[in-house]
Amino acid sequence: MGAMSAEQLTKIYRSIVQTRLFEARIVALHRQGRISIYATSEGEEAIAVAGASALREGDWLFPDYRSTGALFARGVSMPEYLSQLLGTGLDSSKGRQMPTHIASRRLRIGSVSTPVGNGIPHAVGLSWAAKLRKGPEAVLVLFGDGATSSDGFHAGMNIAGVHRLPIVFLCRNNQYAISLPLKMQTASKTIAVKAEAYGFDGFRVDGTDAVAVYSAVHNALERARDGKGPTLIEAVAYRLGAHTTSDDARRYRADEQVTEWRQRDCVEILRRQLESQELWDSRRDTELRQNLSLEIDDCISRALAEPPPAVASLFDDVYSDLPRNLIEQRKDLLGGTSS
C-alpha cells in the first residue's frame, strides 16, 4: 500500500463510486425498457477497478461481461460505453454486441467473449505473441469463479504455464455462477490453489479491499514483465446483485447472506481507508457523488438521442470485403439499391 500515491488511491475510489452509481442508473434504464440486459458488478467493483488500474498504457486488458469498473479505470468514457450499452450508431463496435461486450483497439481492450472463459486463451495468445516479439506488454484477463471450470481457463492456464507468459489471471470469486455456489463449481479448497497444477503461483486476496487487489495485481504484472511468468489471483468478494437484470437471485440464495456481505462493501472500505489517511472527507464524497450523478444523467440523455446503426451496416465487417453472397443478401434487404 505504501507504494500507492494519494492520487492513485483517490482515482481508484472515484472509478469505484462511478461504477456503483452508473450501474444503478443502467438498472433503472433496464426497468424502463431502454436496455435489454445488464450484468451489475455491485460488491465487486474494487476488483475490476483496482486490477485494471495496475496496467500500464501499452498493456492489454481482456475483460469479461462483468467488468464495467475495469473499463472505466482503463479510460473508456461514459458516452462511448453508453453507445455500446444501447447499441447506437455511434458505438465503436457498431451495435453488434449485447450490453457490456465492449472492444477497444485504442485502449487495448480485447473484444468481450460471451461464452464464459473463451476470452482467456485470447489473452494468453496475446501475451505469447508479446513474449515471442520481446515486447514490453503484459496482459490482464478478468473472469469469474464459474469460468474456472471452462475449457478456456484450462487451455489458457496450461499454455501460460508451459511458456511462462507475461499474463495475470484475475478471478473475481463472487461465490456464484448464476445460481451455482462455489462449492458446487469446484472441490478445490480455493481457486488460487489451481495455479499450482499449472506450474505457477496463485494468490488469494480480499476482493473488497481495492488496495489489496491493486498491490497483488501490480506485483504480478511486474513479475510478468520481468519474465517471471504468469500469476493467478483469486479476489474474493460477493455478487450482491443478481447474475443479470434477467435473473432472480432469491430463487437460489438467502437474503441474510446478501445482508451479511453488504457489511463488507468495497466502497465503504476504501472510503474509510482514504479518510483515515486524510485524503478524503464527507464534503468531497458528497460533491463527487453529485457531480457523477449529473454527468451520468447527462450522458444517458445524450446517448438515448443517438441514432441506431445504419441498416446497410448489417453486412459490414463480416469480412474485410463483401463476398458475392453478402452483396446479394444486402440487395435483398435494401431493395436493390445497394451494390
Partner 1 sequence: MNMAQALNDALKSEMRKNGDIVVIGEDVARLGGVFRITDKLLDEFGADRVLDTPLSEAGIIGSAIGMSLYGLRPVAEIQFSDFVYPAFDQIVNELAKYRYRSGGQFSCPIVVRMPSGGGVKGGLCHSQSPESYFVHTAGLKVVMPSNPIDAKGLLIAALREQDPVVFFEPKSIYRTEKSDVSEGDYTVALGTARTVREGSEVTIVTYGAMVPLALRTAGRAASENISVEVVDVRTLLPLDIDHIVASVHKTNRVIVLHEAPRTCGYGAELAAEILERAFWSLDAPIVRVTGFDTPFPYALEDEYMPTESRLLQAIRAITRD
Report the residue number, 92 or 188, with the smaller CB distance to partner 1. 92
Applying CB under 8 A, the span of 51-59, 106-114, 213-221, 251-259 interacting with partner 1 comes to 106-114
> 5, 263, 320, 337: which one contacts partner 1 (CB under 8 A)?
320
Report how far Cα 151 is from the mean position of its chain's Cα atoms. Answer: 20
> 30, 66, 74, 122: which one contacts partner 1 (CB under 8 A)?
122
> 70, 120, 242, 303: which one contacts partner 1 (CB under 8 A)?
120
Applying CB under 8 A, the span of 5-13, 128-136, 182-190, 273-281 interacting with partner 1 comes to 128-136
Residues 3-62 that bind partner 1 (CB under 8 A): 60
Interaction pattern, residues 183-222, with partner 1; x per rule: CB under 8 A: ----------------------------------------
Handedness of CA 101, 106, 107, 109 (dihedral sign): positive
- Are the C-beta atoms of 166 and 203 separated by less than 8 Å? no
Provide, rounded to whole angstroms, the least separation between the CB of residue 216 and partner 1.
Answer: 23
Applying CB under 8 A, the span of 6-14, 24-32, 39-47, 121-129 interacting with partner 1 comes to 121-129
Residues 147-166 that bind partner 1 (CB under 8 A): 151-152, 154-156, 158-159, 162
> 77, 92, 259, 286: which one contacts partner 1 (CB under 8 A)?
92
Report the residue number, 52 or 126, with the smaller CB distance to partner 1. 126
SS3 4: coil
Report the residue number, 181 or 323, with the smaller CB distance to partner 1. 323
Distance from C-alpha of 227 to C-alpha of 198, rounded to nearest angstrom:
17
Q: Which residues of 84-97 are buried (b: 16+ CB within 10 A; e: fewer)?
A: bbbbbebbebbbbb
- Looking at the DSSP bridge assignments, the partners of residue 231 are 168, 201
- Extended beta strands in the chain, E state: 60-62, 139-144, 167-173, 176-177, 180-181, 201-206, 231-236
Provide, rounded to whole angstroms, the least separation between the CB of residue 240 and partner 1.
Answer: 29
Distance from C-alpha of 147 to C-alpha of 162, rounded to nearest angstrom:
20
Would residue 252 show up in a list of annotated catalytic residues for this protein? yes
Distance from C-alpha of 333 to C-alpha of 245, rounded to nearest angstrom:
33
Distance from C-alpha of 259 to C-alpha of 172, rounded to nearest angstrom:
20
Would residue 239 show up in a list of annotated catalytic residues for this protein? yes
The active-site residue, picked from 14, 154, 225, 252, is: 252
Q: What is the DSSP letter of 312?
A: G
The active-site residue, picked from 30, 74, 108, 239, is: 239
> 43, 63, 99, 121: which one contacts partner 1 (CB under 8 A)?
121
- Looking at the DSSP bridge assignments, the partners of residue 233 are 170, 203
- Are the C-beta atoms of 327 and 314 separated by less than 8 Å? no
Distance from C-alpha of 174 to C-alpha of 157, rounded to nearest angstrom:
20
- Cell of residue 330, nine digits: 444486402
> 19, 40, 68, 118: which one contacts partner 1 (CB under 8 A)?
118
Interface with partner 1 includes 308 (CB under 8 A)? no
Provide, rounded to whole angstroms, the least separation between the CB of residue 136 and partner 1.
Answer: 12
Distance from C-alpha of 56 to C-alpha of 60, rounded to nearest angstrom:
8
Would residue 30 show up in a list of annotated catalytic residues for this protein? no
Torsion of CA 138, 144, 148, 152, to 10 degrees: -60
Chain positions contacting partner 1, by CB under 8 A:
60, 91-94, 96-97, 101, 103-105, 110-111, 113-115, 118, 120-130, 132-133, 135, 137, 151-152, 154-156, 158-159, 162, 316-321, 323-325
Catalytic residues: 239, 243, 252
